[in-house]
Each structure stands twice: as C-alpha cells, then as structure tokens.
Amino acid sequence: MHTSSGASIEIRKLGRIPFAEALAVQNELREDRLAGAGTDTVLLLEHPDTITFGRASRPENAPLSDSELRCAGYEVFRIQRGGDVTYHGPGQLVGYPIFDLAQRGRDLHRYLRTLESVLIETLAAFGIPACRREGYTGVWIDERRKIASIGIGLRRWVTLHGFALNVCCDLERFDAVVPCGLPEAEMINMCEFSASLEVSEVLPRLEAALCKEFG
C-alpha cells in the first residue's frame, strides 16, 4: 500500500486486492467519518474478475446465475451502491472515495459531476477526448462508447463505492452482463488510444486530478 496526502484528502494505493477486502477497508473508513474522525480518503486499486450488482440491478442484465458467474471465474457481490450491474477486473483502475459530503456542501449532484471532471481531466492528460452524456452518470468518448463508470453509496452524507476507469482490461469479460444496464453502450479502454498503457502510468495523473478537484 502507498499513501499520499493532498490538501484535504488522503490517497491510498492498494494494488490489486479482492473486492471483499476493499469493501472492508471502505466500511472501516466510513465508520470513522460517521463518527467525526479520520479524513476524507480515496482508495485506488484493481480487482480480480468481479461482478457487482447495485441497488437498481435488473435480472435481464445478468443472464447467468450467481453460481454460473462464479464458475466462469468471477467473484459476485450484491452491494448498496447506485446503478445496475457492472464488471471490475485487472487493468481497470478503481477509485473509492470515502468523503464526508456534509463538509463539502451536501450536494450529491455536484459530487458526481466532480468525479466525472476528475476522470475527464485524467483522460485528457493522455490526449483522450472524453465527455459527459446527458442523462447518464459516467464518462464517455461519444454517445455509444463508455470508458468510465460511476456508482456510489451514501449514508448520512458519507460516501462509499465510486468509479472505475477502463485502462487496459479484458473487455470480453464485460460480456457476462449488460454493463450498467445499457445494452447500447460499448465499453472501451484507454489503451485503444494510447498503446501499451498500464494502470501504473495512469495512477499519478488520476491522483493529481483528485487533489486538484477535491483537495
């Protein structure tokens, strides 16, 4: 694990860890924030092949059963975040901000738009033009191609879960589900624009954008 600090956030780089382990760290940090302790923290990491179901998940977006998904090599979790079903895996840079929004204006819409700004700035650092798509949360290359997803949980204004940026992941692993419940969307990687790009190269750019927007 590597830890660094911005003006008012702490960033922890955890490497590649199982989803359950990352969730335990999130919960611990959130309990601290709910108790008025600790500091706003972002966990940056990768997961092994994992499927997560959010509160808005619909059965038609995951045609395989949980047991079938596990047989195909995925870990499976049903969690308290917004959004539908999605995939996490190696080559995807995941960020989990545990922020006390009561100290940041109590504005969930602004928080989501700021997360999108962080991702758009990170992509721009590699010459990748990205944008928002009206009516949808996340970051897109155009109306069809999606490069980053966002799904959060909120309790007493303290956040959980976060975003996933596709750097160089195996896009075929998304095929087990309808990512984010959007059958028309095509998931895309950063490495399709910048060859041989690795997560380790994207981390410092993402960290800088997080400190700029939230620090």
Catalytic positions are 180
100 to 39, 54, 60, 114: CA distances (angstroms): 8, 21, 35, 15
Q: 3-class DSSP state for residue 159?
A: strand
The pairing of beta strand 41-46 with beta strand 75-78: unpaired
Confirm if 94 and 44 have CB atoms less than 8 A apart: yes
Distant-in-sequence, close-in-space partners of 57: CB < 8 Å, separation ≥ 6: 78, 84, 85, 181
- In contact, 165 and 196? CB cutoff 8 Å: no
What count of other Cβ atoms lies within 10 Å of the Cβ of residue 89?
A: 22
CA 165 – CA 123 distance, rounded (Å):
9
Helices and strands: H and E segment counts in the chain:
4, 12
